[in-house]
Structure 1
Amino acid sequence: MPHREENKPWKKLESLLVLGEGKALHDFLDTMNSAEIARAISRLGDEEQANLLTLLEPEDAADLIEELSETQGADLIEDLDSEHAAAIVDEMESDHRVDVLGEMDKDDAEAIIQEMNPEEAEEVRKLLEHDPDTAGGVMITEFVVYSQALTVGDVLDDLRTNAEAYSDYGVQYAYVSSMKNTLIGVLRLRDLVLSSNDVPIQQVMIVNPVSVLTDTSLEELEQTFDRFNFSGLPVIAPEGNIVGVVQRADTEEALSNRAEKTFMRFSGIIGGDEIRTEPVFVRSTQRLWWLAANLVLSLMAASVIIYFQDTVEKNIALAALIPVLANLSGCSGNQAIAVSIREMTLGLITHEDVARVVRMELVVGIFNGLILGILLGGFILIWKGDMMLGLVVGLALSLNTVLSVALGGAIPLLLRKVNIDPAVAAAPILTTVVDMCGFFLILSLASTFLL
């Protein structure tokens, strides 16, 4: 049976907000998982969402924000005054803090940063300088590093003294730096516990640790994690000093988030993520310009049909077959686009590989085009009993499929060369060109052989 309305989580939240019971709110949120929290909060109005964060302690509010997506968390924070928002952001882990601020309008983010603890604010500004798709963009700055001059006893004493603070760190290792502050080793807790207190940590550390640079890409990080099966890797600056730690889980999450954003752009949602609690004007704007551009491109493709209007009127079956041709050719081209974007993301191809990509796609296009052309031509022969119509449409589909996959492979590379996001522009351009060519092929062949 469906839940009664009053038993739904957001209704309970609304009741607690009316009562102003911060402790009860915290306890209730603790009973919910991340997905339930995100859904419940999305049902609240802007004023209720801001009130929710106001009633919670900054540390609890920070924990709540970290449970949400970057977009939803940023929307919640932006509804608060800068001082209150800064108090919450101060309590967040460094990577979540940067992710949320990075989703905000630059002026809003800067206003919050100015209200933060000066040391935290300086760190945030440094982290925001890194590309979000690199190790520097996803690393955390909460880690433990010791000088090579210390002993095992010194390290154990420090771990005991700061146990509560270190328990919040998402790392499982301590690191060792040289007198010049460069990374030279990794310490495992097991090795420390099993060693005498007076033993120098240089004798128990793992030397030449695997590390990554701040500009290491997410794909390289993923490959490194797969190769060594580590849960975390130290991140070093070009001069060799350790500046953070990147975790496997954070890398996987960043890759997943990027894939989601690429899908959104590929679907015509421009300007980042969209959630339905955003203002209608913002959501409309993110969609409308792409739709308007597609309207113009679609009219260009339709102009070909208008040119051959007499041909369509004399063979009405063509009107039913033109959409089939456009759809199949478009699907073939979009498959090639997806492969090119994927290989560019992995660093396997660049714009210099256009000719090679086209050659490789042509082989696939010829094979698939022949198969699809034969299948569609055979269907038309059975349906209409007209062999010539089947040959015309089948040939048009075969030729257009070859053209579609060749263009689908090349267009993303050419767009990247001129600094245009292929995830946004590749599909509309391909659709227009392929539709125009497909319509021209089928109608010109029909005009020649069927009339």
Structure 2
Amino acid sequence: MDFDPEQRPAQKEEPDVTVVAEGPPPAFDAEAEVERDEPWKRAAELVDASDRLGLAEFLEASDPSDLSRTIERLDRDRRGRLLDVLGPEASAELMDQLVDAQCGELLEAAEPSVAAGVLEQMPSDEQADLIAALDPEDAVAVLAELPADVARLAEEIAGFSPDSAGGLMNTDIVSFRQSTDAGSVVSDLRRRADQVEDDSIQYIYVTDGDGRLTGVLRLRDLLLSPSWRTLEDFMIRSPLAVQTGASLDELLDVFDARAYLGVPVVDDVGVLRGVVQRADVQEASGERSERDHRRSQGIIDEELRSMRLVDRSRSRLAWLSVNILLNILAASIIAAHQDTLEAVIALAVFLPIISDMSGCSGNQAVAVSMRELALGAIKPKDVLWVWRKEVQVGLINGAALGLLIGAVAWIWKGNAWLGLVVGAALSINTVIAVSVGGAVPLVLKRFGKDPALASGPILTTVTDMCGFLLVLSIASALMPHLI
């Protein structure tokens, strides 16, 4: 068949395609990479250059986690100059994003006059917290640079327990005497508009001639009242207030029961001293839980690796030296039963298991007691009730764990008597562990000791000593059946 060019299939037109030439890849920004991975290097450069604007912009653009890393990696000299370069206001804003320990390091490294200037920009309760975090010598030097009234107030608040209403209160409050008329109050608030806005004022507190709290006033009621009316005419009388010695648990109960943003704080004779904010109470509660956990792990004071090596080592050794003495006591039990252990070497396998499992059970009881103490659900006088409740749990869990470990020992060595020894020891030691773990925090609290700090070593020592003693004593009594 001849090929007819007229019958050739039509060629499909290709669409017009515009090809855009790719440009070169963006250049590698080494400076930006350093700022992201090692932000402290950039901060150090800005401090050395005394670049206040650049340093402020850099810190403001940094994530909170990067801020902590930056401050921790700076050497002491640069930490001291950082606050001076930033200036008081920007430094106070920086402090809001750091933990107290890091704020204390910055203030201690700075000149006392610089540190005092930063503290003046902060609320009174935060001033007291940070002064309390300083070394005594540094605190005295900084207080000497503060105005007399500010220093006196900060020292006064620092004298209260940090977890009390007095320690948490902010003294920057707006109050007027009950004989003042509404028009005068409104005029005064207008003159102090910046303070009112910064302090997020929700209520105005009303006092008598002696400064005793007599009522509170809603801003709405103030604005809608005739200017000639005195505050006494339309204030809310007998408002809820807490005393300066009110505990953190009592404050939590107050805010749990009521949707208040703040509660006034009065002294023993009813004089208005400040206001405690809901946010501050919640923050203090979280810090207490963190502090209790840290102490249960042997970190007595808040520790950062930027602190002095000697201080960090001394703080840890205070815990470790006590623990080594307690562990020597536990090891003496093994030494006294050395012959039994040599005769039945399989017991050595089960000793750490019994000690560890009993310790775990005891730690559970400690955690529950610490939690209930924090919530106010139990008091130190409830120790016998707590003990009975823990014994009940210990009997059930001890029996279950004892049967399990006993069966393992029996199957492993084919000796039912060995299973009986380790099973009975674990069962009894579990009851002992939960009894000690549940009761010791309450006993320590009763005698004014820190339950979080001391419960761990006591529990560990008791469970180790009792576990070793039970295993080796029962094994010695049943020796003919074990060899």
Do they fold alike, i.e. is TM over 0.5? Answer: yes
TM-score scaled to structure 2, two decimals? 0.88
Counterpart of 1:340 in structure 2 is 369
Aligned to 1:142: 172
Say yes or no: does 1:434 pair with 2:463: yes
| 2:419 alignment partner, one of 390, 393, 400 | 390
Q: Which digits, 9 at most, give the CA deviation of each residue in 1:10-51, with x for residues without a partner?
A: 232122122210122112222234333222211211111111
Deviation readout 1:175-206 (Å, 9 max, x if unpaired): 11123322122222222233333343334432
- Residue 366 of structure 1 pairs with residue 366 of structure 2: no
1:391: how far off? 2.0
> Whose Rg is larger?
2
Match of 1:249 in 2: 279
Secondary structure of the equivalent of 2:74?
A: coil
More divergent stretch after superposition (355-364 vs 19-28): 355-364
Per the alignment, residue 151 of structure 1 pairs with 181
AA aligned opposite 1:333: G
Q: Matched residue of 2:198: which SS?
A: coil
Instruction: Kindly indicate whether the alpha-carbon contact (under 8 Å) linking 2:79 and 2:110 is maintained by their aligned counterparts in 1.
Output: no
Describe the superposition over 1:67-114 as per-residue Cα deviations: whole angstroms up to 9, x where unpaired.
211111011101122222212212211111111111112232122111
- Alignment CA distance shift 1:277-1:170 (3 Å): farther
Aligned 1:6-405 pairs, distance under 5 A: 6-8=35-37, 9-270=39-300, 272-405=301-434
Counterpart of 2:34? 5
Q: Distance in 1 between matches of 2:451 and 2:194?
A: 48
- Give the aligned partner of residue 415 of structure 1: 444
Residue 365 of structure 1, CA deviation: 1.2
Task: Give deviations 1:227-249, integer Å, cap 9, x for gaps.
Answer: 11111111111111211010011
User: 1:141 deviation in Å?
Assistant: 0.6
Contact 1:42 1:277 in 2 (8 A): yes
* CA displacement 1:239-273 (0-9 Å, x = unmatched): 11211010011011112112222222211122x21
The superposition leaves residues 356-405 of structure 1 with CA deviations (integer Å, 9 ceiling, x where unpaired) of 33222211211111111122223333444433222221111000111111
Pair 338,11 (structure 1): closer, same or farther in 2 beyond 3 Å: same
Deviations 1:213-238 (A, max 9, x none): 11111111111111111111111111
Retained in 1: the 8 A contact 2:125–2:154? no
Indicate how the Cα distance of structure 1 residues 429 and 309 shifts in structure 2: closer, same or farther if over 3 A, else same: same
Determine what percentage of the aligned residue pairs are the same residue: 43
Aligned length: 449
Partners of 1:33 and 1:127 in 2: how far apart? 32
Query: Is the alpha carbon distance of 1:321 and 1:5 closer, same or farther for their aligned partners in structure 2, counting shifts above 3 Å?
Result: farther
Counterpart amino acid of 1:367?
I
Aligned-partner residue type, residue 58 of structure 1: P
- Provide the rounded CA distance (Å) in 2 between the counterparts of 1:381 and 1:70: 55
One-letter amino acid of the counterpart of residue 109, structure 1: A
Q: Which runs of 5+ in 1 are unaligned?
A: none
> Please, what TM-score do these two structures have when normalized by structure 1?
0.94
Deviation at 1:165? 2.4
DSSP 3-state at the match of 1:191: helix
- Give the letter for the 1:168 counterpart: D
Q: Distance in 1 between matches of 2:318 and 2:370?
A: 22
Cα 1:416/1:192, change in 2 over 3 Å: closer
2:4 is matched with none
Letter in 1 for 2:359: G
Root-mean-square deviation (Å)? 2.1
Q: Secondary structure in 2 aligned to 1:20?
A: coil
The answer to whether the 8 A contact 1:173-1:187 is kept is yes
**CA deviation string 1:247-305 (max 9, x = no partner):** 011011112112222222211122x2101110111111110121122112112211222
CA contact (8 A) 1:142 1:170 kept: no
The range that moved more, 165-174 or 249-258, is: 165-174
8 Å CA contact 1:66, 1:92 repeated in 2: no
Gap runs ≥5 in structure 2: 1-29
Cα distance in structure 2, aligned partners of 1:316 and 1:404: 25
Secondary structure of the equivalent of 2:160?
coil
